[in-house]
Chain A
Amino acid sequence: MLKTISLSATLMIFWLLMSGIYTPLLIGLGVVSVAFTMIIVHRMNIIDQETHPTHILLNLPKFIVYLFIDLVISSITVVKLVWQVRKPITPTFSTYKIKLKTDVAKVIYANAITVTPGTIAIDLNGDEITVHALVKEGIDDLLTGEKETKVRQLVE
């Protein structure tokens, strides 16, 4: 029930921000659209921890700040490698085990790896993840497990 309310509130806020025209007709149309969406979602029975993860909301700002700093640092590293003609790149392909349990945590972790330039998560099989990195240091950084800890803090 709580999730239904929070999802419809999110959808309504999204509608209001997107439309920008606040006449009774358009707001009314928004309400009808949200109600219709909620009926469909309810019939499909797909609201749960996975599709509407409200439990991570509190820890989200901290994680986004961490991810943004990581993204800036690794972008600068890759741009340096682009312009430094002499420095050789060391593309590394490696598979290692992760300790994250839930699917949501694994997906967030894999996407966090891919969104930072210099590392791409290619495959995820059970608890084994395959990562391709532009330089070997990229893999070494991941193997220290800092990112994994941050993701665990986010979802738990």
Chain B
Amino acid sequence: MIIDAISWFCLMLGCFFCFSGGVGILRFPDFFTRMHAASVTDSLGAILILVGLMFQAGLTLVTVKLAFILLFLLLTGPASSHAMAKAALHSGHKPMNSNTSDDAAKNSASGGDVSNP
């Protein structure tokens, strides 16, 4: 019963973090800032959901397999986001800098997302 409660707490919290990541992807102004939002989904969101599932599975081999999934997710996640960021930079996508970010943030605050051309 208590384990069920902890498990559901982890799952709901994980859902919230994944959802926030999704909202961040829509709301942030340019490619690089959106990537930061996406990385919430595949770090803390994934951790919490998998830990919640581990509580559901109990002390079995399934838990071990979930732990392996988590391990490999946390090892490959940074590699893929690094590859994306570097590819974007190499193909000439300029990150917006702090000076222009104030205006962009104001825009995004007043009405939805602003996509960088």
Q: Is the CB of B36 within 8 A of A88?
A: no
Q: How far is the CA of A72 from the CA of B43 in the complex (A)?
A: 9
Q: Is the CB of B44 within 8 A of A82?
A: no
Task: Give the segment of A29-37, A55-63, A119-127, A140-148 that binds chain B.
Answer: A119-127
A-B contact count (CB 8 A): 111
**A108-146 with Cβ < 8 A to chain B:** 110-111, 114-123, 132, 134, 136
| B: interface residue count bin | 35 or more
Q: Is the CB of B82 within 8 A of A114?
A: yes
Q: Is the CB of A79 within 8 A of B35?
A: no
Q: Is the CB of B101 within 8 A of A91?
A: yes
Given the known interface contacts A78-B36, A120-B82, the answer about A86 and B109 at a Cβ–Cβ threshold of 8 Å is yes
The interface residues of chain A lying within 8 Å CB-to-CB of B96 are: 91
The interface residues of chain B lying within 8 Å CB-to-CB of A88 are: 101-102, 105-106, 109
Q: How far is the CA of A111 from the CA of B47 in the complex (A)?
A: 17
| A: interface residue count bin | 20 to 34
Q: Is the CB of A114 within 8 A of B78?
A: yes
Q: Is the CB of A122 within 8 A of B89?
A: yes
Whether A18 sits at the interface, judged by CB under 8 Å, is: yes
Q: How far is the CA of A68 from the CA of B75 in the complex (A)?
A: 13
Contact residues of A with B, CB < 8 Å? 17-18, 20, 71-72, 75, 78-79, 81-83, 85-86, 88-93, 110-111, 114-123, 132, 134, 136
User: Can you identify 19 A-B contacts, CB atoms within 8 angstroms?
Assistant: A17-B61, A17-B65, A75-B40, A75-B44, A78-B40, A79-B20, A85-B109, A86-B109, A89-B29, A91-B30, A111-B78, A115-B78, A117-B36, A117-B39, A117-B40, A117-B44, A119-B36, A122-B86, A134-B36
What 5 A-B pairs are tightest by C-beta distance, nearest first?
Answer: A88-B105, A114-B78, A75-B44, A82-B24, A134-B36
